[in-house]
Structure 1
Amino acid sequence: MSVGSNGVLAGLRIDLRRLHETWMELVYPRQRGAGDTVLGTWQPDSQLGRIGYRVWSALGVPVIALVYPLVLLGAFVRFQTRRIGRTAASLGLLGVVALSLVVWGGLAALARFQLDLIAGGFLAIALAGGVATVSAALAVGTKSAGGRVTTVLLAYPFAVTAIFLPPVVAALFSKTLAAVVLPNSTALAQWLLDNALAPVGLAETFSRTFELEGLGYVIMWLAISFPIGWALGTLVSLADLVRPTE
């Protein structure tokens, strides 16, 4: 077996051990990372306590089997987001805003002078650029202002908003984009009603009170961006717990 394979297997064993130790520490003290300390891992003294300890340990095996793929996904997401984060940190808040304005301003100018055949192209791209710039600034600002909780609750959702929302805003002012973005958004909304809201009894309420047209598309994608951002932030936090970067 190659050295590389040995390194991967060793990393997997470390991850699984940390996950199991974390599972054990939900109920028992001094479990995570205590094996190499002076006191060592805590063990119950009584026979009944040892039985309970082994049962809880065995219950953790299927839980870890379900959670570990999420840890690997979180590690991948963390790698990608921290590459972007390092770039944003080197630019700073004003730098990110300036870069976004330059990029989107260039696209808007291209639409104005070169893509006149696209109905509403200039206005669509200009508004999309404004949304992207504000969302990116909020993502960088909230990431810099707070710790892990603020990052998960605000920075990740705003970063997802910077990706999802600009095409939707642009589609409201461009027939070319609207023909692609809006029908797919409607299909996604119907799928969410049938598969996410109907099982909890909220589909009829949303259908009756929420009209999917115009600004409704923006609200829909803004509402979608936050749960996705929270999910990505949670995956990264899980990867940090099991596989700390330090």
Structure 2
Amino acid sequence: MSTDSQLVTAIKADLVWLLTAWRKLLFSMESHSHPARNRWQPETTRDRLAFWVWSGLGAVLIAAAYPFAVAGFWARYVTRRLNRIATGLGLVAIVAVVGVAWGALTVLAWGQLPASGFAAVLTASVVATLSTALAWGTTRVGGRRLTLVAAYPFAVAAIFLPPVTAALVSPTLGEVILPRSTSLAAWLLDNVLAVGNLNTIIRQQFNLSGAAFVGMWAGLAVPIGWVLGLLVAFANAVRPRADGDRRR
């Protein structure tokens, strides 16, 4: 019960903070007589109408945006835990673990896949290992912008590529992952890339099979990583952390 009460209190505090920030956009905080300080009493019908219309619009927008902040809280929690693990292990240990895992998968693919399939697994193993190292490095040396632009996409690529390339090796995984990847690609082409006949051009130029699955998920890692990074940035803006990991 105490946890539920704390959650409700935190949500209320977030909503009040967001509404106050929204009111600041239109109503200055320079004096004590403005409505954003909750001390101002509108004296005219125009003042009351402006204040409450602006507040009502903010309430609607905040209600629509707050679920994204919640998703950002979750993403921030996960990334902080992964960051602690990565910090504890260090770059060499992380790259070694990923390299050994991918090396084993590449050896398994040898002799069981055609040349194109083996090349896909080998390429993905190199990309996943490099992505892990680059995600670690950009998080350590970069600021907020570099972490958002590079670290999150690299980390997502390192997570997405293993199951996809394993599906190229394992028929069992392939029956689950590859058809769903094909369905996702069809949905993206029909609903997201249906601008300027781009989806038709992509269908004519590319065949989604073998290494193309790896390329597809490597490409998707970029926008997905950016979305995760923006969600974390939004969560930090709504509920900043008091420690040094605020920029993650």
Which interval holds the TM-score relative to the shorter structure? 0.7 to 0.9
Report the alpha carbon displacement of residue 149 of structure 1 after superposing the two structures with TM: 1.7
Task: Select the residue among 75, 83, 86 that pairs with 2:81.
Answer: 83
> Could you tell me which residue of structure 2 aligns to residue 228 of structure 1?
224
> Could you tell me which residue of structure 1 aligns to residue 126 of structure 2?
130
Spell out the pairing of 1:80-159 with structure 2 (5 A cutoff).
80-105=78-103, 111=108, 128-159=124-155
Task: Select the residue among 212, 217, 222 that pairs with 1:216.
Answer: 212
Report the alpha carbon displacement of residue 49 of structure 1 after superposing the two structures with TM: 5.1
CA 1:175–1:74: 2 relative to 1, 3 Å? closer
Percentage identity across aligned positions?
A: 42
**Retained in 2: the 8 A contact 1:124–1:171?**
no
1:186 aligned onto 2:185: no
CA 1:44–1:193: 2 relative to 1, 3 Å? farther
How far apart, in 1, do the equivalents of 2:144 and 2:41 lie? Answer: 34
Report the alpha carbon displacement of residue 125 of structure 1 after superposing the two structures with TM: 6.3
How far apart, in 2, do the equivalents of 1:189 and 1:74 lie? Answer: 26
> Could you tell me which residue of structure 2 aligns to residue 59 of structure 1?
57
How far apart, in 1, do the equivalents of 2:72 and 2:202 lie? Answer: 32
Runs of 5+ consecutive residues of structure 1 not aligned to the other structure = none
* Secondary structure at 1:198 match in 2: coil
**Retained in 2: the 8 A contact 1:19–1:64?**
yes
Report the alpha carbon displacement of residue 164 of structure 1 after superposing the two structures with TM: 1.2
**Structure with larger RCO (C-alpha < 8 A, sep 6+):** 2
* Secondary structure at 1:26 match in 2: helix
Runs of 5+ consecutive residues of structure 2 not aligned to the other structure = 243-248
- Could you say what the CA RMSD is over the residues aligned between the two structures, in angstroms? 3.5
Per the normalisation by structure 2, the TM-score is 0.77
Report the alpha carbon displacement of residue 224 of structure 1 after superposing the two structures with TM: 0.9
How far apart, in 1, do the equivalents of 2:215 and 2:120 lie? Answer: 17
> Could you tell me which residue of structure 1 aligns to residue 8 of structure 2?
9
CA 1:69–1:194: 2 relative to 1, 3 Å? same
1:206 aligned onto 2:202: yes
| Amino acid in the other structure paired with 1:6 | S
**Retained in 2: the 8 A contact 1:128–1:169?**
yes
Report the alpha carbon displacement of residue 73 of structure 1 after superposing the two structures with TM: 1.5
**Retained in 2: the 8 A contact 1:20–1:64?**
yes
How far apart, in 1, do the equivalents of 2:120 and 2:135 lie? Answer: 22
Report the alpha carbon displacement of residue 200 of structure 1 after superposing the two structures with TM: 6.7
